[in-house]
Amino acid sequence: MPAPRRSTAAAYVRRWRALLREAGYLLPLLPLAVVGSLLMWAGLAAGVGLAILWVGVPVLAASLLLARGLGGWELRRLAAAGLPTVAAPDWAARRVDGGAWRRWLGVIADGRTWSCWLHAALVQVLLGAITWTVGVVWIGIAVGGPTYWAWGRLLPHGDSELWLHTVVLGLNPGYVPASTLPGLFAGESAFYATAGALFLLSLPIVIHVLVLAHAGIAHLMLGESRTAVLRREATAAEASRVSAIVAEDGLLRRLERDLHDGPQQSLLRMQFDLASTLRALEPGDTRLRPLLESSLALSKATLQELRDLSQGLAPPLLQDRGLESALRTLAARSTVPTTTDLRIDAEHASVAEVERSVYYVVSELLANIAKHSGAANASVRVRTERSGGTARLTVDVVDDGHGGAETVAGHGLAGIRERIRGLRGTVAVTSPVGGPTVVTVALPLRAATDRERP
């Protein structure tokens, strides 16, 4: 039990330490709220009244922009009072692009801006009238009660004056009030001192509760909405995921170039040297010739492995001739006979991460077909589709194998889903037992194009 007592005492001490800041927020609140409310109603009346002349539109927009400013100021005042910081709306993200009229109408149409206006015009002044009155009265009694014995002597007292302690204590049976002025004053001083002490002890808690009421309202009406926060977090997560894919694409391209310019060239030079050495040997040399021939064969195999590896990282054909040629080459190299139907809009699909992702998807799916499906035939269909102002690239890979394909963590389909998800794409797999298996990948192109092009 000692621990909770210490915790309660520490919390009470903290409330006393924060009292000056919170009182500094509360005491000027009502005058400020009245001024803000008058400005809001005046702006609304002027804007609506002049709307028929179109002058009212910028006037109303200016009034709403002032409401935003008052809302931000209120949040800063609460933060200065020691309350938890409330994130203000991202007004820059809400700004409507275009001319002045579009921006003004965008301000007028913004719901969060009207929430700020309602707070400044009505809620703050009504709530402030209550909290300010309670706060001022509480502070007055907490300060004036214990000191009544000093300043109360300066007040005129008459025989017919109401002595509050006689009314309150007179409710107790048997209580007899004093009959002289000094006795009445002493009783009144004791009563006020007792009441003032109680108000003083509870003062930091009461002021904190009053300020908390304003903080709660400000959080609901002035802070960023939870929906907007979640939307911004989702956008940031998506941007981070896409950035990782773009960075990976650039890294793989550099790695492929380094492999081509470094180890592959060295191995090729080694092959020339070994071949020259073999030609220079005596025909009857049976000691060095087998070693050189073995080394030459090993260097050729290693070079081919490096070429295969670099093509998997960033196929030169994809970089040199584009996605369509690279996909046709993939289909031609597949061990399962594969047909292609490619209708790709190069203007939209020539984005590095899109090209590489589609190449990766088709390569992985054709490899899975060759290894696991038992298919006799396969087909690859890629097309660009437009709907309204957006475009997307759709990839269909079909095989006539035994079906039953499943997405297993760490395997081909799971990797495809993860990669395509990073580009806001979708993957659909239809694979009944007995086949056929159809994998459909859809990638939005406009968003990717916007990221690639300034």
Q: What are phi and psi of 151, to 5 degrees?
A: -85, -15
The pair of three-digit structure tokens given for residue 286, joined into one six-digit string: 């049976």
Q: Is the pLDDT of residue 40 over 90?
A: yes
* Cα Rg, the chain, nearest whole Å: 40
Cα dihedral value 407, 413, 417, 420, nearest 10: -170
List beta partners, residue 74.
Answer: none
Of 95-109, 330-344, 348-362, least confident by mean pLDDT is 348-362
Q: By CB neighbour count within 10 A (0-12 exposed, 13-18 middle, 19+ buried), where does 339 fall?
A: exposed
- pLDDT digits 0-9 by tens, 84-128: 888 888 888 778 877 888 888 888 888 889 999 999 999 999 999
Q: What are phi and psi of 424, to 5 degrees?
A: 65, 30
pTM over cut 0.75: no
Q: Is the pLDDT of residue 166 over 80?
A: no
Report whether 111 contacts 9 (CB < 8 A): no
- pLDDT digits 0-9 by tens, 376-410: 889 999 888 877 667 788 899 998 888 877 766 65
Q: What DSSP state is assigned to residue 146?
A: T
Percent of the chain with pLDDT over 70: 76
- Greatest mean pLDDT among 23-32, 53-62, 307-316 lies in 23-32
> What residue type is assigned to position 300 of the chain?
K
Chain-wide mean pLDDT for the chain?
A: 80
**CA separation for the pair 223, 85 (Å, rounded):** 10
Report whether 44 contacts 60 (CB < 8 A): yes
Q: Is the pLDDT of residue 26 over 90?
A: yes
Q: Is the pLDDT of residue 145 over 80?
A: yes
Q: By CB neighbour count within 10 A (0-12 exposed, 13-18 middle, 19+ buried), where does 279 fall?
A: exposed
Of 121, 117, 119, the closest CA to residue 62 belongs to 117
Give pLDDT, residue 452.
Answer: 43
Give pLDDT, residue 269.
Answer: 76
Total residue count of the chain as it appears in this document: 454
Of 181 and 359, more confident: 359
Pairing of strands 390-399, 426-430: unpaired
Rounded to an integer, the average pLDDT of 228-237 is 70
SS3 283: coil
Question: In 10 A of CB 296, how many CB atoms?
Answer: 18
Give pLDDT, residue 323.
Answer: 79
Give pLDDT, residue 163.
Answer: 67
CA triple 410-413-414, angle to 5 deg: 40
Of 98-112, 191-205, 277-291, least confident by mean pLDDT is 277-291
Q: Give exposure, 171-205, as e/b (b: 16+ Cβ within 10 Å).
A: eeeeeeeeeeeeebbebbbebbeebbeebbeebbe
